[in-house]
Chains A and B, each alone.
Chain A
């Protein structure tokens, strides 16, 4: 926020914004489009602070470069300048993701704006803006800002000081209502971090993945599946799908998303989508479900090439859950009561790589049922349901960190657990059972000795993972004063 406050204190030259029709070469005197673009790029370069991710568009009326371009010589085409500037900014970046990352803050301070009609395209170019300085303008009421009512859904900081609207009795409530993440309005905190966290908090606490595997079947399947799906779908089909495997996909085109930046269309999927809300006729419902290796191969061949993040290298980008289920059809036909299998539910993202090297990131949910069969490992995929939606990030399943201190009563309990990285001591794809057991022993050791996880692990591994002998060894070394201070966790007050 400080970087926004730093912008205050400049005096506004008072030149009114009036813009020449440059970029429009019908006039013989007008500079060429390329020339205008180059000048605008230079101006944006001077006003962009990469480190603080700030684009400072304040006091445009007194910008000597803009003045020398003759931007303010005529009022007739005032509406064209700002959209052109935004267009040039967008063209500076080769990917939507880079553009999104580049700017968190924009200042439009000291521009004598009475409403936002001239600058409204700011919301299209910077939909995920966090900080917006509109101070020292001339907005009379909420009506003057209404076009941004549903924009900037991530806005945390808004400065409207110096506008008559700020004195309106409804000002604060209106802005709080418009912007659900707003924290600071006119340099005053209007929502605390706790209040914001409470807004985001779900009534159902978010826990780590529930992963009840059997002999690492699901773990190995998930690790192999997405590598196979990205690199050799045919091989995957031959390995673990059979004549009874069923695949279908459905597109949720209006799912909530992480960024408001538009996503590419769903053209390559929509004709296969079996969203039963939309697909109501029986023939379409039948033709959009694919049974058997051959049919599934045909549909997979039409789907875009994908790149999923590595499960082991980027575990945070995945949420993988699994549990056994009974009552599956017995491939041998012998069991009248059905056989057991695994239900696996995966949430994550993938990149779609297009021929023009454009990359589109999407989120997906994929549910599998695995049962005994004639494929690799004596398994087969019975069901494979793929749901596709716009990129929604991984924040929803990230465990809440200690941003909010636990209530005092809970503190002694909290202290029993040494601080450990997320997922430590819990099963996860890529971790062997031995690893999980060892991590749990390390946690136990650490809780008993108050040593760090690293030292606890050293103590255990040098004692053959026997907790008792490791504890005995620890007491001896401690008594002899042989343990360095950094072997211990910081003392909790």
Chain B
């Protein structure tokens, strides 16, 4: 592929981070049955307050069955491109050759700062959190007519900090 310009890299990465943040937190709040769809099949590490969680379906299971209603408020977030030539796996078990790669074959670091309120009452305390994600290109082949996520979570670390 042609080497993308810095403009394009910034546009694509910040767009991806924005879309991710604006869809993931609402899903934690009110669309928990879709949580696992945010995760890459190959997971590096998922942590919640120091507790390791195996994969996306385990995260979804916890949110569906164990978590009280929660209100998340993202107050600040930022992102950086990690690898602009991310080795996206192919269905055949190899890695997508550079000749077929697009600008979307980048991994992205996303850092979020905000607060969460557990429970339904607005009187519950606002707990500050910091969360770091590594997003990687979705390895799945796009199906016609079905919109799928371009990036998925490879690593996630949620920490209450206030």
Contact = CB atoms under 8 A, between A and B. Distances in A.
Interface of A: 177, 180, 199-200, 202-210, 212, 246, 248-252, 254-258, 273-278, 282, 285-286, 289, 319, 321, 323-329, 336-338, 343, 345, 347, 363, 365, 367, 369, 382-383, 385, 387, 389, 392-393, 395-397
B92 interface: no
A327 B162 contact: no
A258 B157 CA distance: 22
Given A329-B85, A336-B87, A385-B111, A289 B44 contact: no
The 5 closest A-B pairs by CB, nearest first: A207-B50, A392-B162, A252-B76, A365-B130, A252-B113
A385 B130 CA distance: 12
Given A256-B162, A276-B14, A367 B111 contact: yes
25 contacts: A180-B124, A210-B45, A210-B47, A248-B78, A252-B76, A254-B75, A255-B75, A255-B113, A255-B162, A256-B127, A273-B76, A276-B14, A276-B17, A282-B7, A321-B50, A324-B45, A326-B44, A327-B154, A328-B83, A343-B155, A365-B161, A367-B132, A387-B111, A387-B113, A389-B76
Contacts of A385: 78, 80, 109, 111
Interface centre among B47, B49, B51, B161 (most CB of A within 10 A): B161
B68 interface: yes
Contacts of A252: 75-76, 113-114
Contacts of B50: 206-210, 321
Nearest to B96: A336
B10 interface: yes
B134 interface: yes
B41 interface: no
Chain B residues touching A, majority SS? strand
B162 A396 contact: yes
Contacts of B67: 203-204
A345 B159 contact: yes
A21 B90 CA distance: 81
A389 B75 CA distance: 10
A198 to B, nearest CB: 10
A246 B109 CA distance: 11
Contact of A329 (B45, B48, B84): B84
A73 B6 CA distance: 73
Interface in B133-162: 134, 136, 154-155, 157-162
A383 B83 CA distance: 10
A250 B78 contact: yes
Interface centre among B84, B126, B134 (most CB of A within 10 A): B134
B154 A256 contact: no
A204 B51 contact: yes
B38 interface: no
Contacts of B74: 277
A246 B80 contact: yes
Contact of B80 (A206, A273, A282, A289): A289
Interface in B63-92: 66-68, 70, 74-87
A397 B157 CA distance: 14
Given A274-B78, A326-B44, A336-B95, A369 B109 contact: yes
A364 to B, nearest CB: 9
Contacts of A363: 161-162
B85 to A, nearest CB: 7
Nearest to B162: A392
A256 B115 contact: yes
B76 A204 contact: no
A340 B17 CA distance: 23
B160 A345 contact: no
A199 B51 contact: no
B26 interface: no
Contacts of A328: 82-83
Contacts of A395: 162
B60 interface: no
B24 interface: no
B10 A285 contact: yes
Contact of B10 (A250, A277, A282, A326): A282
Given A326-B44, A327-B136, A343-B134, 6 more contacts: A203-B66, A251-B76, A252-B114, A275-B77, A282-B11, A328-B82
Contacts of B83: 327-329, 338
